[in-house]
Structure 1
Amino acid sequence: MKKVGLYFGTFNPIHIGHLVIANHMVEFSDLDEVWFIITPQSPFKTKLSLLDNNHRYQMVFEAVQDYPKLKPSKIEFDLPQPNYTINTLLYLEEQYGAEYGFSLIMGEDNLKSFHKWKNYEAILEHYSIYVYPRISDGKAENRFEGHSKIMKVDAPIMEISSTFIRNEHKKGKNIKPLLPAPVWKYMDEMNFYR
């Protein structure tokens, strides 16, 4: 059974920080693959600057072409919205449960609000969570410290955000080094975030 880490996000746009973390997870943990689960709309975010689902999928597709262990996924596009992680996990189990074992990938800053997620207890009961470090204003809550299903992975700290990229691009700043080359090319050709 293949071990697959699910990396959820809007990827608006995907940037080198996302790639570094995902690649680190497949190379330096027991995960066989990482699937980028492109989220149509997060229950915690507004949709104001969110590009169309298919454009964000295309950028993730372009970004991972040279990384055979990284895969783009549009699995959430057809699920009822707003969607929650638990629904996606149940759907994936139903579709692929015999072939794959699924885990979540999240930044340690997300542990602060993980207890607010829908059915977080069920997620913790049935799925492992791989946590990568983030720089944050405060120390992450110890609510899940030492939990047997939570593995901290000593991945590089990547403090690049899609919001920063969008905002600075709109101001005319050169953000090209923060994006995989094919993502920059697609974004520039489509005139996104200007």
Structure 2
Amino acid sequence: MKKKVGLYFGTFNPIHSGHLIIANYMVEFSELTEVWMVVTPHNPFKKKSSLLDNHHRLEMVYKACEDYPNLKPSDIEFGLPQPNYTVNTLIQLEEKYPELEFALIMGEDNLKSFHKWKNYKVILERYSIFVYPRISKGLIENEFLTHAKITRVPAPIIEMSSTFIRKAVKEGKNIKPMLPEKVWKYLDEMNFYK
């Protein structure tokens, strides 16, 4: 049987303790044996201006995952044409790692807009999706509520965002408890977001 790897996509600008809590929960309490933190170079739906360089965000993900053997950083999207779409990344990963089975991890907020994703029906046909709860507005499409490939995982609800952290750093607030220690040190040494 193939090892099942969950793909947790994000700009991770910066990665914070909430990301690690969700990723670790998925490894410990679902059928996923590993979670790959896929650092996205540029999300077609987000403004690029506040994004740190790819290598800095990847470095922070490396530092955050060091103490968790089942969490791995991934830069698979760095070499793909931009803007990139998840369906293209999945094809790349399948070609590169035919011995693995890949699944998506997404928050409930993303599931609500999943029907707008490029080739979302192809993704649903071929991959499992593990959804963690988020407090968000809007409704989930009916087809996603009972779909056999979509598993809702009762992970803790984490209301922490990278946007909040960047703003707090800029305002000189102490947000050290919200970041893995190695990520905090890196951010502080590099003077990021100030």
Length-normalised TM-score, structure 1: 0.98
Rounded Cα–Cα distance in structure 2 between residues aligned with 1:24 and 1:94: 28
Q: Which amino acid aligns with 1:117?
A: W
Aligned to 2:165: 165
Alpha-carbon distance, 1:111 to partner = 1.1
Correspondence list, 1:60-139, <5 A: 60-97=61-98, 99-139=99-139
Question: Partner residue of 1:45?
Answer: 46
Which ranges of structure 2 fall in alignment gaps of 5 or more residues? none
Distance 1:177 1:61 in 2: 18
Identity of aligned residues (%): 71
Gaps of 5+ in 1: none
Q: In structure 1, what is the Cα distance between the partners aligned to 2:164 and 2:190?
A: 19
Which has the larger displacement, 168-177 or 124-133? 168-177
What is the CA deviation profile of residues 86-121 of structure 1, one whole-angstrom value per residue up to 9, with x for unaligned ones?
000000011102x10000000011111100000000
Show CA shifts across 1:53-82 (max 9, x none). 000000000001000000000010000000
CA RMSD of aligned residues (A): 0.8
Contact 2:112 2:138 in 1 (8 A): no
Letter in 1 for 2:64: A
Aligned residue type for 2:23: A
User: In 2, distance between residues paired with 1:138 and 1:81?
Assistant: 29
Specify the alignment match of 1:191 in structure 2.
191
Alignment of 1:176-187 (within 5 A): 176-187=176-187
In 2: Cα distance, 1:48 partner to 1:18 partner? 22
Distance 2:178 2:59 in 1: 17
Q: Distance in 1 between matches of 2:116 and 2:135?
A: 21
Q: CA deviation at 1:46?
A: 1.0
Are 1:147 and 2:147 an aligned pair?
A: yes
Q: Output the CA distance in 1 between the equivalents of 2:72 and 2:21.
A: 14
CA distance in 1, matches of 2:85, 2:153: 24
Instruction: Work out whether residues 11 and 39 of structure 2, in 8 Å CA contact, stay in contact via their aligned partners in 1.
Output: yes
User: Deviation at 1:43?
Assistant: 0.8
Post-superposition offset of 1:137:
3.0
Listed one character per residue, the Cα deviations across residues 113-149 of structure 1 (whole Å, up to 9, x for unaligned) are: 1000000000000000000000113443434110000
